[in-house]
Chain A
Amino acid sequence: MTELLKISHTMHLEWRYGVGASFHEFIAALRARAQILGRRCPGCQRVYLPPRPVCGNCYVELRDWVEVRDTGTVRAFTIVHTPIIDPTTGARRPSPYTMALIQLDGADTTLNHYLEASDPTKLRIGMRVRAVWRAQRMGLLGDISHFTELTDE
């Protein structure tokens, strides 16, 4: 039996990813005013978050900006226990953590983000949540650290 060899290597990849006009506006508003902007489709009237140039359903250009609130409703959630390498840092993300699809007030699509609750047994679809902002905003999605339960409604 031949000894079976493996050739190991590490591939380092770097990107410079153009955000495009829609996202440019979004980032600027996020950083300057902690404001979340979506875009409304003139056809189906859906408000898209994150904003994008075209409605995938109607295939028409989106031009109208709509301010979306930083409160919303959980539409789906899961507590992730499996180890994940964070592709933005290359490091293993601490687990468990909770992911959720959150429909922000004023948007028709949901946002994929982290959710933290004081008591994990209280997590449920339909729960009301609010964004927790970082003190220093960089113009990153991570300017919203996570979402947490909304108690004062």
Chain B
Amino acid sequence: MNDDFVTAGVNLQFHYAAGAAASRFLCALRDEQKIFGARCPECRRVLAPARSFCPRCFVETNEWLEVGPGGTLSAFVAPPFAQLLEPALTLALIRLDGADTAFVHRLGEFDAPMLRRGLRVAPVFAASRQGHILDLAYFKPVEFDNAHSI
């Protein structure tokens, strides 16, 4: 502290409850390496990741279904600050096969010039998984995949 400023710091611990629906989604990533979506009974959209209710129609989803694993890149960005991270972070919006919403995740194993909207991508799962969104480590570009023929 000097006469003009007080500086201070504190560490706060938080434990965010995923809730029943997100827990089921994360356990499937961990135990089956499967990505689940949930269908809204009103607008019929398949929301991925799966969740307990549709925020547009405000009704509970009643049908769980596997989506992906392949998908299509609909947007990507490599924020400058994120390039200082190890590994560097490239964020992506991915339309998983069978889903009607974009899945927010990160890209890996790519050469920057090859990134374009419409690129086919596939998930790479972490070797050690603990019920966390990063049990799915990242999506990587694929030329051909089994889920979708180009």
Contact = CB atoms under 8 A, between A and B. Distances in A.
Interface of A: 2-19, 24, 27-28, 87-88, 90, 138-140
A139 to B, nearest CB: 6
B14 A8 contact: yes
Contacts of A140: 1
Interface residues of B, number: 27
Given A4-B17, A14-B9, A17-B5, 10 more contacts: A2-B24, A7-B16, A7-B18, A10-B14, A11-B12, A12-B9, A16-B5, A17-B7, A28-B3, A140-B1
B121 interface: no
Contacts of B12: 10-13
Contact of B1 (A7, A13, A139): A139
Contact of B4 (A2, A3, A19): A19
B8 to A, nearest CB: 5
Contacts of B13: 8-11
B15 A6 contact: yes
26 contacts: A2-B27, A3-B23, A3-B27, A3-B131, A5-B22, A5-B26, A6-B15, A7-B16, A7-B18, A7-B132, A9-B13, A10-B11, A10-B12, A10-B14, A11-B12, A11-B13, A11-B14, A14-B7, A15-B6, A15-B7, A19-B4, A19-B6, A24-B4, A28-B3, A87-B8, A140-B1
